[in-house]
Structures are given as structure tokens and as C-alpha cells.
Structure 1
Amino acid sequence: MTKWKKASEELGELIGESVSEYEVEFRKMFGSPVYFVNGNMFIGVHGDGIMLRLQEEDQQKLYDEYDEAAPFTPNGRRMREYALIPPAVYDDEIEFRKWLDISYSYVSSLPKKEKKEKKKKAAPKKTKKSEK
């Protein structure tokens, strides 16, 4: 298991600039910049990498084109629709835009995810011991 690594500020700025043309919502998850479309996660920084949501056949195309591309597996658990894109993609403006467009089209087609109400913590129940 890899040790948690702080999100790269440089990559955070890169994706922030790159997604500015899309209708996205910015949030931080575990201190990392992540962008959502209609409540569905789209793209984010994880450590020193960028993860992008792609449907299965597009992930396979990415893996076929780039040996360094890999499934996104934070803490050893694979997130099915997410791939880590290699620097060869995000260092090339045209290639990065191509993959952003593919991902954005897919994520935009997903049903809108409603925000969950935060549950209020229930007061601790009194036990017979605590009443004495």
C-alpha cells in the first residue's frame, strides 16, 4: 500500500485551468482538488497524478495508447470508472483536451447525483450505568 501523498499543487492548477471551459463544480476531497459534473466526480488530483472518469471502453483505449496509464487504485482499492492518466497525456495540450472531452461527455450523460443530507449525530443513549 502506498503512503498518502499530498496533492500536487502544480497538477491542481493545471486541471483547474483545463476544466475552466466546462460546467464543473470544484470541491476538495482529502485535501485534493476534484471537479464534479452534476454531482458526479469527473477529474481530480491524487498525490502526483491525475485521475479521470472514463467508461470501460475508453479506459481500454487509454491503456492501449499509453503504457503508463493505469487503473485508479487509491489505498489498493480499484475505483472502477477511474484511470490515472500519464504525463504524456496531460503534458500535451491537444491530447489532454481530447481525453477531457471524452470524459466530460461521459460524466455529463450520467444521472444527476443529489447531494446527501448530512446526518446529525444522535445524542449518546443513556445506559443504566450512566444514570447511577
Structure 2
Amino acid sequence: MTREEVIQILDEVVAKNPNFERKGKTMPYTSANGHMFSQVNKAGELGIRLSKTDTEDFDANYGANPFLSYGATMREYVLIPQNLLQDKDLIGTWLQKGYEHVMSLPPK
């Protein structure tokens, strides 16, 4: 799947939820409460920031591989596997969990 296709998937998922707004021209991301909770990296991979509990749930169901951006491992992020990218409803569910996680953090 190309980077542009992953960005299009993120855009479609974001458009369905009024809590989300896609930001960033070259590095698409979502943020709330001053905290980023999803990003498409240069490699065309989607990462979602989750709470520890949600990361454990994600790992149990899909395997939680680290998400890298600019060569650094993004703490609290899981890499969305390629085989899940077509399931926009599932991505929307996990993106909502990411949103709820950052909304529970102190605002920046």
C-alpha cells in the first residue's frame, strides 16, 4: 500500500468522527488536548497512540509493533499492521481510543 493510500484511509476515518481533525501537510497527524495521537510517517505507516491498557489489548489481538518516525521509536504508539488498514471501522475504533487517551492527559 502506498503512503498516499494510507493518508487517504486516515482522511476517510477522520472525516467520520467530529472529534478528529487531520493536520499536517507533509506528515499527516491528529492531535487533541495538545497531544498528537496518530501519524503517518515517511514510510507510509500509520501509528496510533494508545494507553497502556489499550496497547496491551491491541497487542493481544493484532501484535503491537513499535511505530517509528524520523528514525525514533514513538512511545505509546502502535504500528497499525498493513492487513488492518482496509478495515476503516476498526481503525476508527482504535483512533477513538487514542483520542480518549490524550484527552485524559494534562493539556499542553
Distance 1:65 1:92 in 2: 14
- Does 2:50 correspond to 1:54? yes
Aligned residue pairs, count? 105
Distance 1:95 1:110 in 2: 23
- Does 2:43 correspond to 1:12? no
- Shift of residue 22 of structure 1? 3.1
Q: 1:17-56 to 2 correspondence within 5 Å? A: 17-20=12-15, 21-28=17-24, 31-46=26-41, 47-56=43-52
Name which one, 1 or 2, has greater alpha-carbon Rg: 1
Please report the TM-score for the alignment, with normalisation by the length of structure 1. Answer: 0.67
Distance 1:85 1:39 in 2: 22
Paired-residue identity, %: 33
Ranges of 4+ aligned residues in structure 1 off by more than 4 Å: none
Task: Indicate how the Cα distance of structure 1 residues 11 and 39 shifts in structure 2: closer, same or farther if over 3 A, else same.
Answer: same
Taking only aligned residues, the RMSD between alpha carbons, in angstroms, comes to 2.1
Distance 1:66 1:26 in 2: 25
Please report the TM-score for the alignment, with normalisation by the length of structure 2. Answer: 0.79
* Equivalent in the alignment of 2:96: 101
Task: Indicate how the Cα distance of structure 1 residues 108 and 90 shifts in structure 2: closer, same or farther if over 3 A, else same.
Answer: farther
For structure 2, the 5+ residue unaligned runs are: none
Is contact 2:13–2:89 with CA below 8 Å preserved after alignment? no
Deviations 1:16-61 (A, max 9, x none): 12112233343327x2111111221011111221010101221122
SS at match of 1:73: strand
